[in-house]
A and B are shown apart, each in its own frame.
Chain A
Amino acid sequence: MVLATATRPQAASTPPAPPRRRSRRSPGRRQEGLAGYVFLSPWLIGLMAVTAFPVLFSLYLSFTNYDILSSWDMLEWVGTANYEKIFTTDPIFWKSVRVTLTYALIAIPLKLTASLGVALLLNRERRGIGLFRSAFYLPSLLGGSVALALVWVAIFNGEGSFNSFLSLFGIQGEPWINDPDWALGTLMVLSVWQFGGPMVIFLAGLKQVPTELYEAASVDGASRVRQFFHVTLPMLSPVIFFNLVLETIHGFQGFTSAYVISNGSGGPVYSTKIYTLMIYDKGFTDFQMGYASALAWIFLIAIGLITVVFFSTGRFWVHYSDGGDS
């Protein structure tokens, strides 16, 4: 990712530069391009074999009754039956969509806000700041690990350490992960807690904001708050955009924590039955792998659409200060 370093903060109002013309390639360059592909070929072949082919194969399976165990000649083409069932009769599908959207709509903005906030705090040159940066990144090193989810279970069950902590103040805690109204919230907290990844990227973005801008702004008498909204945020918007897209995709794909915390059930009362968990259930418990593939494809298309929406609205708020053809 290229971070902009131009110096005009009002660049948003600059008229966009005319699109660059593509120069026609000379035969020599074409040869070079070919050589490039040849060198890329091990990777390309790998990509085709382990990514592209399985992806497309699962599209095919989504139109079949594939059940993972039966022998291959039992496979039947069922047309769009799986998709029809999902949208018309599946009682879990809409529940799961609701849970997933709730999770994504709350957890993703919270995580981005938290990571930006911490990045701002860590963007000062103090003694020992490196230590703090590492410390705040630490939870993310544990990734979506099973161990971490188990720790969460230990903290947030009825007699978990969080409730013991609350009881020091005379507060009677909820049973958190065992309460349908709180379980999803507990998952969100876990996701927000792992803000290290986007934080590091924000931090890098903040470092790229030229200090002259702040100097100029303070000469003009802008307060810290104004500086944040009028200098930091616009200059950071490409980074915010990048993090938003990645965290959205990542957020929708969450699986491990929900699986471990609910013991695979998505419970209590479907409250943590996020979409990926439903796909997993269908494929590996009900052995309806064709159906699960259809669910996965709907998911892929939905995430794709959301990403497209992000990209198409990006031009209104993402500001590339090199004045480039964003």
Chain B
Amino acid sequence: MHPATPAPAGTPAQHHGSLPAGGWNRRHLLRTLAGAALAVPAAGLLAACGDDEPATDPNAPVNISFFWWGGESRAKLTEQALKLYTAKNPRVTITPTWQAFTGYYDKLATIAAGGNAPDIFQLDDNGLAEYAGRNVTLDLSKYTGNGKIDVSKHPESLTKYGQLGGKQVAIATGENTPAIVYDKTALTALGLELPQIGWTYEQTITWAAGVSAKKPGYYGMMDPSSDYKALWLWLRSQGKEFYDGPKLAFTEADLTGWFKLWVDARAKGATPPADIVHEAVDGSVTKQLVVTGKAAVSFMWSNQLSEMQKATKADLGMTAYPGDPKGQWARASTYWAGSRTTKSPDVVADIINFLVNDVEAGKVLGVDRGLPNNLDVRKAVSDGLTDQKMKDTVAFENEITPKFGPAPAPPPKGHSGLRNTLRDIAETVTYAKQTPEAAAKQFFTEAAAKLA
């Protein structure tokens, strides 16, 4: 039961998937051993080292490992779309693996460290720079250049959002926008107006305080002070920016102001007490206060509306984050990236191309990973939607797209750690353990170490 000696790396064993392997060479060996040194039971690693595949014969069978995070419904859609591909390309077999977001990046990092990164994997803004910046991803520029991955019908901003250091490191899976989701049923019952695009933060907070006042024990809105995307949009709506290259583009005073805004909001009764805020802070859909019926507004992404609706009986509505919508931009919800060590880069490119450009595949995938970036597919998908909330998502995106501002560069390396830093430090303010000034100071100290 107890290990007799303390293991030096106090990390838990990572699950080691059966994602396919490279052959043995010196570097693989080193990497593999390094992976073992860190956390991984060696048995899985040894098992994961398969035979070399002949890569030259165009008709030779190819096996592609494919890894993403998401829920049950996303898994069904994705597997269905992949089946469409393998039906058309019988020599390709795809081994899909998926899991919940929590732990996804840990697992991806571990298998990538072992030199066995999946051939195709899903990334988001947080992972893009981390993985591309460390050269884990396959350079897709060649394929976007020769049309093997056709981006001619994608909005340019989305394509660019998958570029880093002049390379196309990933292809956006769809367009997505931060959005607030509100409880239409509760607000209508209370006889209150519904939030609108373009409300300022002050307006929204006053309105939220009104909600809380009308119904004791219920709150107007979630406290988004620990949410990097809310802070980012708040900064942008004032003409400021979050990152300037690999550095922070805002000041300690800005951050103090942000924390103060939410301290005041709590004082006014607009947001719930810290412990209720904490329940929803990890961002998972089922714990959101709108879903658990504790508050009228949650800060989410537009593609999450349909999934949230499935978790509650209340009718949900959606609008933009407070502040000038020009702070918003066309964001990639997630990306498809290939592994630099894949044996079949052409097939990888072909599958990615199929997923983003094929109308049939697009219809299967719907708006689960955001609005399809191929505009033809987007039209076909929008016309064929049956899920009301997915239709709402499309309507929302169509409404807000013309109001977008210019897109910033994707976040730099260190962003995923910094997000957690913001979450932890914002909580010290929410729980009144620290003043906004002290918290902002701590954030800048830690940020210097994370972005270095």
Binds A, one of B306-314, B326-334, B396-404, B412-420: B412-420
Identify A61's interface contact among B1, B34, B102, B134, CB under 8 A.
B34
| Chain B residues, Cβ within 8 Å of A266 | 424
| Chain B residues, Cβ within 8 Å of A296 | 8-11
The interface bits of chain A over 49-60 (1 if a CB of B lies within 8 angstroms of the residue's CB, else 0) are 110011101110
Identify A285's interface contact among B8, B105, B134, CB under 8 A.
B105
Complex CA–CA separation, A253 to B8 (angstroms): 10
Complex CA–CA separation, A157 to B38 (angstroms): 34
Identify A69's interface contact among B10, B41, B131, CB under 8 A.
B131
| Chain A residues, Cβ within 8 Å of B416 | 285-286
| Chain B residues, Cβ within 8 Å of A85 | 449
| Chain B residues, Cβ within 8 Å of A267 | 278, 281, 423-424, 427
Identify B38's interface contact among A70, A180, A283, A303, CB under 8 A.
A283
Most buried by B among A53, A61, A68, A259: A68
Complex CA–CA separation, A292 to B275 (angstroms): 30
B3 at the interface (CB under 8 A from A): yes
| Chain A residues, Cβ within 8 Å of B39 | 283
Identify A265's interface contact among B1, B5, B105, B282, CB under 8 A.
B282
Binds B, one of A121-129, A232-240, A268-276, A314-322: A268-276
B11–A280 contact, CB under 8 A?
A: yes
A162 at the interface (CB under 8 A from B): no
Known: A68-B38, A293-B38. A270 touches B109 (CB 8 A): no
Identify A253's interface contact among B3, B34, B274, B281, CB under 8 A.
B3
A113 at the interface (CB under 8 A from B): no
Give residues of chain A (218-263) contacting chain B, Cβ–Cβ below 8 Å.
Answer: 246-247, 249-250, 252-253, 255-256, 259, 263
Report the interface size class on chain B.
35 or more
Known: A91-B446, A179-B275, A265-B424. A249 touches B3 (CB 8 A): yes
| Chain B residues, Cβ within 8 Å of A158 | 275-276, 279
Which residue of chain A has its CB nearest to the CB of B26? A72
| Chain B residues, Cβ within 8 Å of A69 | 109, 112-113, 130-131, 134, 136
Known: A54-B37, A268-B427, A286-B417. A304 touches B6 (CB 8 A): yes
Give residues of chain B (5-46) contacting chain A, Cβ–Cβ below 8 Å.
Answer: 5-12, 27, 30-31, 33-34, 36-39, 41-42
Which residue of chain A has its CB nearest to the CB of B42? A50
Identify B12's interface contact among A175, A256, A270, CB under 8 A.
A256
Known: A268-B278, A287-B130. A66 touches B9 (CB 8 A): no
A72–B134 contact, CB under 8 A?
A: no
| Chain B residues, Cβ within 8 Å of A71 | 27, 134-135
A253–B10 contact, CB under 8 A?
A: yes
| Chain B residues, Cβ within 8 Å of A66 | 34
| Chain A residues, Cβ within 8 Å of B102 | 263-264
B445 at the interface (CB under 8 A from A): yes
B321 CB to closest chain A CB, in angstroms? 23
Known: A68-B38, A143-B1, A270-B424. A252 touches B113 (CB 8 A): no
B106 at the interface (CB under 8 A from A): yes
A101 at the interface (CB under 8 A from B): no
Identify A53's interface contact among B4, B5, B37, B282, CB under 8 A.
B37
Which residue of chain A has its CB nearest to the CB of B131? A69
A-B contact pairs, 7 of them (CB 8 A): A49-B42, A74-B134, A85-B449, A280-B11, A287-B109, A297-B8, A300-B8
Chain B residues engaging chain A, CB cutoff 8 angstroms = 1-12, 27, 30-31, 33-34, 36-39, 41-42, 102-103, 105-106, 109-110, 112-113, 130-131, 134-136, 274-276, 278-279, 281-282, 414, 416-417, 420, 423-424, 427-428, 431, 433, 442, 445-446, 449-450
